[in-house]
Each structure stands twice: as structure tokens, then as C-alpha cells.
Chain A
């Protein structure tokens, strides 16, 4: 079983994030980058599937020079090799351009499964996995909270408000995972040492597709800092506190 797992470097969730004034995209240089949290679950799932079925895991990331660290992290966790798509022309790419770039890199490489995290903590669009599936003409098994592989049948539980749907497809297929699916491992020092010797290839953007900020179909017109948290509502319990709390929750459509 040959599995690709797509990983993205995002600004450290603990750091303050800034948009750059000049092109209104995220300033990625000034903060530490980390592997997108949900992608850690994707890597873990790929490794679990590999460990149960044999095969290999290839970590793929599109991103600036620094994003190589994130591919390396996947190798430290246990992926067998890595591909880093790095090209100045890719800067500012929107989700369509990202999906096209990834699809072109993944196409015809014999992957049985292509696994993604279901969203990134910086852009939070959740569309790239579906777009890649569409571009590669593969079935999409998105928002999986459980994956089981049996021969060339893949079954997932798709997370929904009311519980889950069971969805099945045959390989090759694209999967995106949600955080309930597993508990990602921390790389061991042995894994860190072993990753030094694993192949990590840097490739340029596939030609022919318009990518980068200029070709983006969406544009950020304006941005503003999140306003400080407003003071909450304080309810004094004069015997009717419970009713007031319930009324408040009902007003907010929470109950």
C-alpha cells in the first residue's frame, strides 16, 4: 500500500499571527512554523495503516523553504520519504492553486491513499482535500473519524452533527481526517536520528498551471484585528438564576 500524506506548515498556534500590510497574506517569516495540527493526525493515520498493511508513506508539502521542517517532522514520526514542493511562484497561492499543484505532483505516482488533515489552522477552508480528489478524479472520503482498510476497500466514518455516516470507496481514494481519529505520536529520538537519512526531495511547481497570488481567485480586501473580548453577562442568583441562564442560552440558540 502506497500512501501519500499531505502536510502543511502553519504558524505556531501559540504565537501571535500577523497579516502583512503589503499583500494582505499571512506573514509566515516572522513566526515559528509548525506542522498543522490536523495533519499530525493524518500522518498518524497513514502510519497506522502502513503498520497494519505494509507499504510506504510519502509526506508531501507545498510551502516556502522553511516548510521542509514540516516534511522532516513527518519523517521523524515515521514516514519513509518526503517531497517538498518549493517555488517562489507559489507564494500567495489560494486553495485552488494549492490543490492544482498538489494534484499535479501526486498524479500517476501509484498512491493507493492520499490522506489530509480536514483543515489547516491558518486558512480553515477545508476544501483542498475535496479539490485534489476532484482534480485526480478519485473518490473523496472526507471528515473521517475512523478509517478501515480491507484489501482495496476503504471505509470511513464521516463525522456529522447527528453521529456519523459510513462511507466506502475503493482505492485509490482521498481521505481527510478529523482530530477524533487517533492520538498522534511524538517522534522519538531514534525517529529523529533516522529521519536524517531518509530521502527528502525538493521539487519545483509543476508547470502549466497559473499559481501564486496574482492568479488567486479570492482577494483579501481589508482586515482588522479581532476586537477584544466583550464583558460577559453576569446573572445574580436571586432565586431565578436557573431560569435566567436557560433564557440566555435559548436566546443564543444554544439550547
Chain B
């Protein structure tokens, strides 16, 4: 019995998403990527397949699946394209999941159905211009005025925040100072279109070109007190939990990207000839592919292990950090080697491996950098301060 032996239903889901990715995504993604367009039609098809509702109960419009199902869908998408995979990851894991975990019954009924159906996207705004890894040190503020929160400040690099179908951003705000002098942080739901909440034009990015990433500005934005998500002052603990889960999802994305590199390279090294034979006959190329296959396998083992623990409700801080660290660093190596195997063609945007290469780097940065993962892992061992 291996952790890789999926249940028949999980396997069927993975196969379905795999077919979708190669039949519907692969033929069109190159052009969309070059044009840096958000893939509305593909996202709508993913919504029809129920992908945005995978880990949510049916009573909130979900598919009644689990987080593991989400991981498989992200992995299979990323095998072909990372922008769609991160759109799904951010919408579900960062956008909708905190509402399920921390929302009141009323908030769940109000917001989850539109998010789980995929008709609308949710976003999660934590990072600020001067606090990323040091997320406890944010400076966006929210103060109570009558029966409203008034929010001032800004966020940077927020995924899914500015699409035509974005419904809300959950914003981490400083709502006071704790007795020990540290900031009190709370999460507040800000619906898109709220006066004073503006979304800057898209960034020009190195990769993830079809994913929507925005800078947000909050200028005396007023939302009802009832938009507070979870308890006041619990925001910090909430987003640490959200990020633990998100890291497993990013690890799954990295596994998919690594697998995509293997898929592409196996084929190419058989077809491409140099010096009168397929380049795959050269041990220098074959060994690169063997290494890629090995690190993909190990990344998948670590990711599925963390995913299984997550669905069982076990603490995953340590395993999620290791899965994210190993899988994302492997993905960067694999994408670099895949580009190498493709030679000059690997540097041309029309080849999937070129996209993989451009898309891979951010995996070592988003939802906690590799350095932050190492800090978490070391701290669990009681070293590193």
C-alpha cells in the first residue's frame, strides 16, 4: 500500500482534469500567455467541472470532496499550465477556504456559493510593500466607526484580486495593539467594488502571465462590522493556518510542473536528433531526465503525505513546509534542465518548457519563501533561534 495508490474517485478526478488540461488548455494557453490574458473561458470550464468547489460541503455549493482532491486537480493543471493552477489554488485555498474555516454561518451562506461554483473568485490580501515574509508587521489599518470598519492602507502582489469575476478580497488588517505591544491583526472581507477600494493595473511579470496579480489600495474603505472574519485579533493565527494549507497546494503545483517537464523531455529526447541519433541516447541527457523523474517522485510523496495528514486533521506545519521547500526547489531545477534539454527551442516562448521555466521561480517565493520554509523546519527542531 503506497500513498500514491489513490482511491478510484480521486483517480477518476485526476484523469478527468488531465484530459481537460491536454485537450482544452494545452492548445490555447501559449497564445493567452503571450497576450497576458486572464483565461476567462477556461476558468468557466473549470467551474463547470466543479473544481472550485472540490473541498467544500455540498450545503455551500461544494462538491463534497476533500483537500486531497484539490491537490490532485492543481497538480494535473500545472502539468500543462501553472497560471490556471495558481488561479484555482488562490481562489480555493486562499480565497474561499478561510471563509469555510473561520466564517460565521451567515458569512458562509452569503459568500461561499458564488465562490465554490467558480462563478466568482476570492482573493487573500496579506503581503504589503514593506512586509512580506514578516507578515506580522503589516501596516494596513482598520478602525471601528459606528457599525462599520474603516480600512486604510495597501497590499501588493495579490492573486485573483482584479479579474472581472473577483467577488472579494479577505484583507489582513491591523486593528489595534496587543497588551504585549505587538500588533493586533484581524481579517476583514472587502467585496470588490466597495468605494475607496481600488485595484491597480496588472503587474508585468516574469511568469504566471495568465494569472491576475494586483496591487490594492484602501482609501477609507467602509464595510459592515459583520465583515470581520473570525474573531478580532485572531487574524495572525488564521493566516498562518491558511498558509500551512496553501503550502501543500503550492507543493502540488510544483509536482505538476515537474511532471510536465518529465513528460515534455521524454518525448523530445526521443524525437530530437543530433550527431545522427536521438539526444535521449546520450547519457548526459538521459541522466538529467532520470534525476527529474526521481525528484518529481519524491516531491509527490512528500506532498501527498502532507495532503493526507491535512485531510486527517493532523498538524502539518512541519510536513507542509518540507513538501513546499523540496517540491518547489525541485521544480525550479527541473524546469531549468528541461529548457537545457530543449536547447534553443527551450528558450522560445512557444515551447511549454519555456513557460515552465518562467513559471517555476515564483514557487520558491510565494506563500512563504524557501528561507521561511527552512526557518519553520529548523524551529520545529528547536534550532535556528
**B-contacting residues of A (Cβ < 8 Å)?**
14, 34, 72-73, 76, 185-190, 192-193, 195-196
Contacts and interface: CB of A to CB of B under 8 A. Distances in A.
12 contacts: A186-B49, A187-B16, A188-B48, A188-B50, A189-B13, A189-B64, A190-B63, A192-B16, A193-B9, A193-B64, A193-B65, A195-B12
Interface string B52-71: 01100010000111000100
B9 A196 contact: yes
Given A189-B13, A193-B9, 8 more contacts: A14-B22, A34-B19, A76-B12, A76-B16, A187-B16, A189-B54, A190-B63, A196-B9
A34 B12 CA distance: 11
A186 B9 contact: no
B13 A192 contact: yes
Contacts of A190: 50, 58, 63-64
A187 B54 CA distance: 13
B63 A188 contact: yes
Among A14, A192, A195, A196, chain B packs the most CB atoms within 10 A around the CB of A192
A34 B48 CA distance: 21
Q: Which 6 A-B pairs have the closest CB atoms?
A: A188-B50, A189-B63, A192-B12, A186-B49, A189-B65, A190-B63
B20 interface: yes
A73 B15 CA distance: 11
Contacts of B50: 188-190
A189 B118 CA distance: 14
**In which size bucket is the chain B interface?**
20 to 34
Interface in B46-105: 48-51, 53-54, 58, 63-65, 69
Contacts of B48: 185-186, 188
B235 to A, nearest CB: 31
Majority secondary structure of chain B interface residues (helix, strand, loop or mixed): helix
Contact of B20 (A14, A72, A73, A186): A186
Nearest to B8: A196
Contacts of A187: 12, 16, 49
Nearest to B54: A189
A190 B58 CA distance: 9
Contact of B49 (A34, A73, A188): A188
Contact of A186 (B19, B64, B65): B19
| Chain B CB within 10 A, most for which of A187, A188, A195, A196 | A188
Interface string B8-51: 11001100100110100000000000000000000001001111
Nearest to A193: B9
Contact of A192 (B9, B45, B53, B58): B9
Contacts of A73: 12
B50 to A, nearest CB: 4
Contacts of A189: 9, 13, 49-51, 53-54, 63-65, 69
Contacts of B53: 189
Contacts of B19: 34, 186
A189 B65 CA distance: 7
A56 B17 CA distance: 27
Contacts of A72: 12
A233 B13 CA distance: 45
Nearest to B55: A189
Contacts of A14: 22
A200 to B, nearest CB: 12
B210 to A, nearest CB: 20
A249 to B, nearest CB: 26
Contacts of A192: 9, 12-13, 16
Contacts of A76: 12, 16
Nearest to B20: A186
Contacts of B9: 189, 192-193, 196
Contacts of A188: 48-50, 63
Nearest to B18: A14
B127 to A, nearest CB: 31
Contacts of A195: 12
Contacts of B51: 189
A139 to B, nearest CB: 33
A185, A186, A188 interface centre (most CB from chain B within 10 Å): A186
A195 to B, nearest CB: 8
A78 to B, nearest CB: 13
A188 B62 CA distance: 11
Interface string B180-196: 00000000000000000
B53 to A, nearest CB: 8
Interface in B136-153: none
A39 to B, nearest CB: 14
Contacts of A186: 16, 19-20, 45, 48-49
Contacts of B12: 72-73, 76, 187, 192, 195
A76 B50 CA distance: 13
